[in-house]
Amino acid sequence: MTESKGKSTKTEKVEQIENTEKPVRKTTRTKTAATGKKAEEAVEEEITAAAETAEVTAEVSHEPEEKNSTDEISESEADPKAEERVQVSNEAFDWDTFESEELRSSPKYTEYEAKYDKTLSTVAVDEVVHGTVIQMTNREVVINIGYKSEGVVSLNEFRYNPGLKIGDSVEVYVESQEDKKGQLVLSHKKARALNSWDRVNSALEKDEIITGYIKCRTKGGMIVDVFGIEAFLPGSQIDVKPIRDYDVFVNKTMEFKVVKINQEFKNVVVSHKALIEAELEQQKKEIIAKLEKGQVLEGTVKNITSYGVFIDLGGVDGLIHITDLSWGRVNHPEEIVKLDQKLNVVILDFDDDKKRIALGLKQLTAHPWDSVDPNLKIGDKIKGKVVVMADYGAFVEIAPGVEGLIHVSEMSWSQHLRSAQEFMKVSDEVEAVVLTLDRTDRKMSLGIKQLKPDPWQKIDEKYSVGSKHTAKVRNFTNFGVFVEIEEGVDGLIHISDLSWTRKIKHPAEFTAIDAEIEVVVLEIDKDNRRLSLGHKQLEENPWDVFENLFTVDSIHEGTVVELFEKGAIVALPYGVEGFATPKHLVKEDGLMAKVDEKMMFKVIEFNKSAKKIIVSHSRIFEDEKRATETVVKKSEAETTKKAARKVKSNLEKTTLGDITDLAALKEEMEEKQNKSSKK
């Protein structure tokens, strides 16, 4: 326990009386028997002195700190009579008479004992009681709870209450009535913790304002000590204004409202913002009631976002959209304003119900279109700077806040549309021609291809039918190839006009994107700005020659280049291809022909108009076999004819006698046959 500075204070005098009890008890008590009357008078005097001293002690414990200095006077100056009584009591008090049963049973003893007991309070361990702060140091707080001694509590337990002062009433928890040093042990932290959960729930139900100590910063907010419980203060609930530095609130004591409690996980959420929202809401209503469209007000930049700026108008917020910051193009609001900057804004619109206010900054200055050259007209050439690029075109600023659009189709005479980024980029200085001009809607369209002559104006002269040119492959389709002869002059090569001899399924088999190809102009479509081109027409039609080379039944060497279900493609001499059905691919040994296998093929059909040649390998040996069989049959027929002629001639030479001999021979043979059958 921290002792008072003045050793002669009234509290110390009482302690001195108590401490003298034991030494006096140890002295040899006098055996002289005092009369009952004298003993009773002595005891009465001592008890009265003790009661008065106890009352003085109680008065001292409740005096404010300012009086402590006045108590630090000498013992004799404070109360010389009390000092004299104490000295008399210590030296001449008769303990034997005081402790006698006769005296203890007297009515006055009982009366004085009851008076003394009233000056003390009964304190139980593990109990929460109220005490009064009687003294404070840099580390400790001395608290009187009406017990025979004061308790000392660490000042750290009152961090949440920096305004603590002498005379304040606080809750304390009695840990022990007396430690080893005889000191009363108290705890304010435990007293708060015992009732904290009930108090937090009560604060939520009654919507009470409570005090908390911000201990530290955490993700998304702060940790607040409320009644000894760690509560969460979200960053959005600290203030109505956005907080840029959370650390300035650490170690501060603030007022809060409990806004949410999770009973299952014992989580508490508090808000400081809720305390000031009601007041601000009333201010906001008053401010909005005075607003008018077109009114100019001064405000402070409160927050900057990618889509605009929030302005504090003195209790109510308004938004300046990014498009209302400047007549020119703004990539981000930070290019125009800064946080905490004061500026004048004009009210564009407001909503009483939703409390939304739309503000403008650019409206305080004249529109740049009002200063555009009045002599500017369609067809004029102007210069500007590219400020924005898009896939569909580029925006060119010809003056601050005055822009024109160059559509991608107005960047080149080519029908092959490309991205605008291929022609220009942001910050490029370009020259363009005014195509449209609408001063009412403040719109302007520009073009750069108009700076060059239109190639289709003299297309007949430069690209006449039958003329040959070199083109660049731009795109493929299933039916042909789109090529560009020069910028703005496109044409189509149909897939059937790529080759005289090859069967092309897709143009990618013949050429590639960005490859150069020789073409011949077949037809001009000036209205649709298209040319019909051909590639095979660069050469004479070889089918006039093939008609004489690949005659029906002619045999040629070929290579199977592709096999599929319906047949095979066979590469024949001179770059021409033929077709063979599966039955015409069977070899003499019965096996099917394979890819890349060379063999002889016979032309079985030739169609010049369809540019088609049908060939067969099996027809070769089949025809040979058929020819051989024909020869054999002819030879057998000749032999038969010769035998018939010989028999006929022999029949003509036969006589009657020969017939008789033959009949006798027949009968002889029949007899032999009958005999053999009987056996």
Lookup: tokens for 437: 């001009």
Residue 38 has pLDDT above 60, yes or no: no
Distance set, CA 453 to CA 424, 456, 457, 525 (Å): 20, 9, 8, 19
Q: What is the pLDDT of residues 505-529, one digit of tens each?
A: 888 888 888 888 888 888 888 777 7
Please state, in angstroms and rounded to a whole number, the distance separating the CA atoms of residues 415 and 489.
8
Domain ranges of the chain: 10-118, 291-364, 368-451, 455-538, 543-622
Using the Cα atoms of residue 655, residue 657, residue 659 and residue 661 in order, give the sign of their dihedral: negative
Position 308 scores a pLDDT of 92
The architecture that CATH gives domain 368-451 is: Beta Barrel (2.40)
Q: Where are the alpha helices (DSSP H) in 73-106?
A: 75-78, 80-92, 95-98, 101-104
Assign 66 to helix, strand or coil. Answer: helix
Lookup: tokens for 410: 């107005």
Q: Which of 211-215, 272-276, 410-414 has the highest mean pLDDT?
A: 211-215
- Confidence class for position 398, pLDDT limits 50, 70, 90: confident
**Mean local confidence (pLDDT), 390-419:** 83
**Mean local confidence (pLDDT), 661-671:** 72
Q: Where are the alpha helices (DSSP H) in 268-307?
A: 273-289
**Mean local confidence (pLDDT), 350-359:** 76
Position 445 scores a pLDDT of 92
**Mean local confidence (pLDDT), 325-331:** 83
Assign 596 to helix, strand or coil. Answer: coil
> Which of 308-322, 505-519, 641-655 is least confident?
641-655
Lookup: tokens for 321: 């959209």
First to last CA, the chain: 161
Instruction: For 628-641, give one letter per residue: b (16+ CB within 10 A) or e.
Output: eeeeeeeeeeeeee
**Mean local confidence (pLDDT), 623-648:** 73
- 373 alpha-carbon distance from chain centroid: 47
**Mean local confidence (pLDDT), 241-261:** 85
**Mean local confidence (pLDDT), 670-677:** 68
Lookup: tokens for 593: 């022909």
The fold adopted by the segment(s) 291-364 is OB fold (Dihydrolipoamide Acetyltransferase, E2P) (2.40.50)
Q: What is the pLDDT of residues 228-246, one digit of tens each?
A: 788 999 988 888 777 778 8
% of the chain residues with pLDDT over 90 = 6
- pTM of this prediction? 0.39
Indicate the class that CATH gives domain 543-622.
mainly beta
> 482 and 489 in contact (C-beta within 8 Å)?
no
Please state, in angstroms and rounded to a whole number, the distance separating the CA atoms of residues 277 and 237.
10
Using the Cα atoms of residue 317, residue 322, residue 326 and residue 327 in order, give the sign of their dihedral: negative
Residue 453 has pLDDT above 70, yes or no: yes
Q: Are strands 151-154 and 184-187 parallel, antiparallel or unpaired?
A: parallel
Position 85 scores a pLDDT of 47
Indicate the residue type of 374: P
Q: How does the average pLDDT of the chain come out, rounded?
A: 77
Place of tokens 């907080």: 243
Query: In this structure, which CATH number among 3.40.50.970, 3.90.650.10, 1.10.150.120, 2.40.50.140 belongs to the domain 455-538?
Result: 2.40.50.140
Please state, in angstroms and rounded to a whole number, the distance separating the CA atoms of residues 67 and 193.
33
**Mean local confidence (pLDDT), 417-424:** 78
Position 21 scores a pLDDT of 38
Position 76 scores a pLDDT of 39
% of the chain residues with pLDDT over 70 = 78
**Mean local confidence (pLDDT), 144-150:** 81
Residue 155 has pLDDT above 90, yes or no: no
The H-or-E segment that residue 70 falls in is: helix 68-71
